[in-house]
Amino acid sequence: MAESNLLNQNNLLILGIVGGLIGIYLSGLSTIGGLISCLGGICAIVWGADAIRRVASYGLGTGVPSIGYMSLGIATVGSIAGLTAVLAFPALGGLAIAAPILGLIFTMIIGACMGLVAVKIIGMKIPIMVRCTVEIAGAASLSILAFSSAVAGGFAAADILNYVVAPGFIALFYIMNCMAIQHPYNACLGPNEEQTRTLKCAASTAFLAMTITGIIALSHAGVVPAILILIVGLCGWYVSFKAFLKASYEAAASVKWTGLWPKVEE
Amino acid sequence: MDPVTLGVVALMGAAATIAGAAEDLESDIGSQSNPNSQVQLAPQMGHLHRMINKAASGEPVSYGVWCGTAGAIAALAISAGIIPVVAIAMGSTVAAFVHAIYTVTSHLGRIVGQSQFEQPLFMDVLTQSLGPIAAHGFIASFGIVGMSYLMTLPLDGLGHPFPLPLLAMLWGITIGAIGSSTGDVHYGSESEYQKFEYGGGTPVAIQGDIVTKAPTGAKNSIDVGNFCAKYGGPLTGFCFGLIVFVSFWITLVFGTVPGQIVGIVIIVLLILGNMYLEKFARTKFGPYEE
Amino acid sequence: MELISLIILVIFIVAGGVCIGGGVHFIPVGGAPAAMSTATGVGTGTAMLAAGAGLTGLITAASMTGQAWYLVALAGAVGAMLMMGITMLIANFVYIFGVGIVPASSKASIDPITKLDQDPYKTPGTEGHGVPTVCFVSGIIGALLGGAGGGLVYYAVDSFASASTVLSGVDATAAAGLAAIVSVGIFFINSVAASYNIGGTIEGFHDPKFKRIPKGILASAIMSLVAAIFVILMLGGI
């Protein structure tokens, strides 16, 4: 698999973590905060999709999606714990500014435990299981935090609990980000799968999730920031979807708008 | 027992029945979930086809996304003062678009991902099936979100503590699990292998040799929908409607604790019913001759 | 918060997680081959069918919010068993009348419950098909454990969250929402860990793969303990 990777996994990791965290930290800005936060979430989703691609190419035995919703489960517990830990433990009050980083670290710790349990106790024979579970969970955590901060207008724990958890939007982010992260590889699976096409698909699913987040952001973030997220999300989706369509047309055996299949020798 | 609540629970069951049937037919037309493994396998075995290959995750996760999206947008619209029916329709419309987009990416992705087997990428297959797929998906998410909304109404015996988007997502995952366990079998075991004799499972040796031709021309995914609408789809709807209705009916009619006992009695009856069904099939069909 | 309530929280989450992880091993799933009537069991994935049943259980358990823990767990178990039972029965209707086959197990030559022989009713070239009685009963046990486990986790997190100072300044509905999403998360962690252990498909408690259950339970216990620690970090109380 390694020879077909045009983009280095470490570069994608840095893109995901740095982009995601910058997005979350700037989410408090007025008007464009939510937009930047969502763009950070997109970086995280693309990183996660690449990590899924690496681990699932070994064959998990349970289908590609399973590791996706497990990682999202890990990420929800870890990220909410990271956000609210400063409220729960007044001694940590000084760390309020580090809440998103804390959420990422918590998630990665649970992810590492899961990876170790899978390899050491269950005995899965995937050498990169631990690293990839940590990466996917981390990406899931950043994407949830980024979209939630965009809706709540910042990453303060009380705001996220009030405007994302209480109305139940957290459930949407759970399942929608799960789909955005695991779908690209699951959809492009096959002997002729290639990294750039899969990641174009990842960008399109991520921008689609951002568009939905834009609609949800109308609930609290205000009309102008929400419309901004919506429009940029739609434009980004259009561009990345076109790119994916073009790449698919070029790589297809043949593209037909009518007729039967060609004859092949059995 | 409040008769109004009972009526609402009956309405929930009806909405669930319609949603369940639409969900299964959509997943048959779109060829989602486990039977899709055969559509995926066919070109490798030299059987090119004109079917949709929609590997948008498993049904549970994908229906969680469509229903979660519809539920979240409906909740938003309801809180903005729009009447619930319209609000749920707005949410389901957005969900139908999301559904259609995911269908396109997975069909393109999977067909192109196996281009070495010369399977052409038929775009007309996609465009002709996209409408029915999105429409059935719309009905399913409308039914599920509508049912979830009814559950949250502040009525005696209802008034579920979960917010609407969360309930819609949970029921979406459940309907996906049910659809892929019941109705999809009709597609996977019968519609895909119609050219083989009725009354047997699919031996490993013929896997991938799916039906690719119809009375006129090539078999397409709409033909699958017509086939499954006769049995698998309605039965899936019946299954989901029954689950939703019974799980609320027991506590509503018999009270909190006795209701659980009635539930256990129903489960025992289900086990006995299954044993009876199994024995019926054994005497009716008999063993396979060597 | 007192130490005793913390210990109870951890015990409930770990017990719930073990029930979920153990329950998944009972659920008869044949994956993609079962959808083609090539293998015995329900034609879907392990974690997915468990999730469908467990989340139905979570919904029925949550409608008992405010009751004692054993009632919440019982309601979860009954909801999950109803979902699993009706689904398997209707699946058999599709197998018998839609596909025209007799439910037959391949892992047991004689059904341990009904004492009926299975091999003559298996289509030649397949690994059995349908949901015979032994698989059906196994599935009901699996749903019982999964639903009760989900209910326990929900009860623990919900009662802990309602009492927590973290949620004192926020909307009252946040406790239920938080408890639900955390339970869903813990449910998926445990059910996927269990399905990794099973490796895709299993017929129920008579399947040789069922012997792997101690490993699955250990994995679930460890992961639930880790999750419980982070739930404490989330809601405070030390």
Query: For chain B, what is the HEC assignment?
Result: CCHHHHHHHHHHHHHHHHHHHHHHHHHHHCCCCCCHHHHHHHHHHCCCCCCCCCCCCCHHHHHHHHHHHHHHHHHHHHHCCCCHHHHHHHHHHHHHHHHHHHHHHHHHHHHHCCHHHCCCEEHHHHHHHHHHHHHHHHHHHHHHHHHHHHHHCCCCCCCCCCCHHHHHHHHHHHHHHHHHHCHHHHHHHHHCCCCCCCCCCCCHHHCCCCCCECCCCECCHHHHHHHHCCCHHHHHHHHHHHHHHHHHHHHHHHCHHHHHHHHHHHHHHHHHHHHHHHHHHHHHHCCCCC
- Predicted pLDDT of residue A3: 45
Contacts of C182 in chain B (CB under 8 A): none
| Whether the predicted pLDDT of A7 surpasses 90 | no
Q: Which residues of C touch A106 (CB under 8 A)?
A: 230, 233
pLDDT at B290 over 80: no
Q: Are B162 and C131 in contact (CB < 8 Å)?
A: no
Mean pLDDT of B203-213: 89
Shortest distance between the Cα of C1 and any Cα of chain A, in A, equals 11
Helix (H, G, I), strand (E, B) or coil at C127: strand
B169 pLDDT tier (thresholds 50, 70, 90): very high
Burial class from Cβ neighbours inside 10 Å (0-12, 13-18, 19+) for residue A41 reads: buried
Q: Round the average pLDDT of chain C to a whole number and report it.
A: 90
Query: Cβ contact (<8 Å) for C46 and A106?
Result: no
| Contact with chain C for residue B270, Cβ under 8 A | yes
**C157 Cα to chain B: minimum distance (Å):** 14
What is the rounded distance in angstroms from the CA atom of residue A188 to the CA atom of residue A201?
8
A137, A164, B98: which is closest to C185 by C-alpha? A137
Per-residue pLDDT averaged across B74-84, rounded?
Answer: 95
pTM of the model: 0.95
Q: Is the pLDDT of residue C2 over 60?
A: yes
Scanning every residue of chain A, which has its alpha carbon at the shortest distance from the alpha carbon of B47? A266
Cross-chain Cβ contact C171/A166 below 8 Å: yes
Give the whole-number percent of chain C exceeding pLDDT 90. 61
DSSP-based three-state secondary structure for C42: strand
Instruction: Write the residue in A68, A190, A262 that is nearest to B118 by C-beta.
Output: A262
CB contacts, 8 Å: B217 with chain A: 260
ipTM reported for the complex, 2 dp: 0.94
To the nearest whole angstrom, how far is the Cα of B103 from the nearest Cα of chain C? 20
C-alpha span between A137 and C39 (Å, rounded): 33
pLDDT tops 60 at residue A4: no
Q: Which two tokens stand for residue C83?
A: 């979902």
% of chain A at pLDDT higher than 90: 65
The predicted structure's pLDDT at residue C24: 93
The H or E element spanning position A255 is strand A255-256
Which residues does B57 contact at the CB level (< 8 Å), separation at least 6?
Answer: A64, A65, A68, A179, A182, A183, A186
| Residues of C whose CB is below 8 A from A121 | 215, 218-219, 222
* Six token digits for residue A169: 């939007």
Q: Model confidence over C60-105: pLDDT tens digits?
A: 999 888 889 999 999 999 999 999 999 999 999 999 999 999 999 9
Question: B185 to chain C: nearest residue by CA?
Answer: C35
Question: Is a pLDDT exceeding 50 seen at residue B287?
Answer: yes
- Give Cβ neighbours of residue B42 (< 8 Å, ≥ 6 apart): B48, B49, B208, B209, B210, B212
Question: Helix B123-152 vs helix B164-181: angle between axes, to the nearest 10 degrees?
Answer: 130
pLDDT at position C173 is 82
| Count of beta carbons in the 10 Å neighbourhood of residue A232 | 18
- Can you tell me the mean pLDDT for A178-191? 91
B124 in contact with chain A, both atoms CB, cutoff 8 A: yes
pLDDT tens column, B231-240: 999 999 999 9
Task: Please name the member of A65, A171, A192 whose beta carbon is closest to the beta carbon of B116.
Answer: A192
Residues of chain B contacting C95 with CB distance shorter than 8 Å:
185, 189
Residue of A nearest to B104 (CA): A245
User: pLDDT tens-digit profile of C172-223?
Assistant: 788 889 999 999 999 999 999 999 998 878 999 999 999 999 999 999 999 9
| pLDDT level of residue A108 (50, 70, 90 thresholds) | very high
The pLDDT assigned to C1 comes to 57
Chain B CB contacts of A215 under 8 Å are 73, 76, 94
> Residue A187 and residue B105: Cβ atoms within 8 Å?
yes
Does residue A60 have a pLDDT over 80?
Answer: no
pLDDT for position B8: 93
pLDDT digits (tens, 9 = 90+) for A25-57: 999 888 899 999 999 999 999 999 999 999 888
Distance CA B203, CA C101 (A): 13
Residue C104's closest CA among B224, A147, A96, B286? Answer: B286
- pLDDT (mean) for B4-18: 94
- Give the model's pLDDT for residue C238: 58
CA-CA distance, C125 to C37, in Å (whole number)? 11
pLDDT above 90: residue A95: no
Query: Is B153 at the interface with chain C, CB within 8 A?
Result: no
- Looking at every residue in chain A, the average pLDDT score rounds to 90
Verify whether the Cβ–Cβ distance B169 to A258 is below 8 Å.
no
The whole-angstrom distance between C59's CA and the closest CA on chain B is 8
Residue-level pLDDT at A2: 42
Chain A residues in contact with C167 by the CB 8 A cut-off are 161
Residue B185 has a pLDDT of 92
Task: State the pLDDT at residue A17.
Answer: 94
Strand partners, A45: none
Contact B238 C67 (CB under 8 A): no
C-beta separation of B141 from B172 below 8 A: yes
The verdict on a CB contact (< 8 Å) between B73 and A216 is yes
Best of A64, A170, A172, A241 to disrupt the B interface (most B CBs within 10 Å) is A172
Average pLDDT of chain B, as a whole number? 92
The average pLDDT across B256-267 equals 94
Q: Is the pLDDT of residue A5 over 70?
A: no
User: Left, alpha or beta for C202 (phi > 0: left; psi -120 to 50: alpha)?
Assistant: beta
Give the one of A204, A219, A255 whose C-beta lies nearest to B76's C-beta. Answer: A219
- Chain C residues with CB-CB distance to A109 below 8 A: 226
Chain B residues with beta carbon closer than 8 angstroms to that of A65: 57-58, 61
Q: Which of B204, B246, B282 sits opposite C121 (nearest CB)?
A: B282
The pLDDT tens digits of the residues spanning A200-259 come to 999 999 999 999 999 999 998 889 999 999 999 999 999 999 999 999 999 988 888 888
**pLDDT of A1:** 40
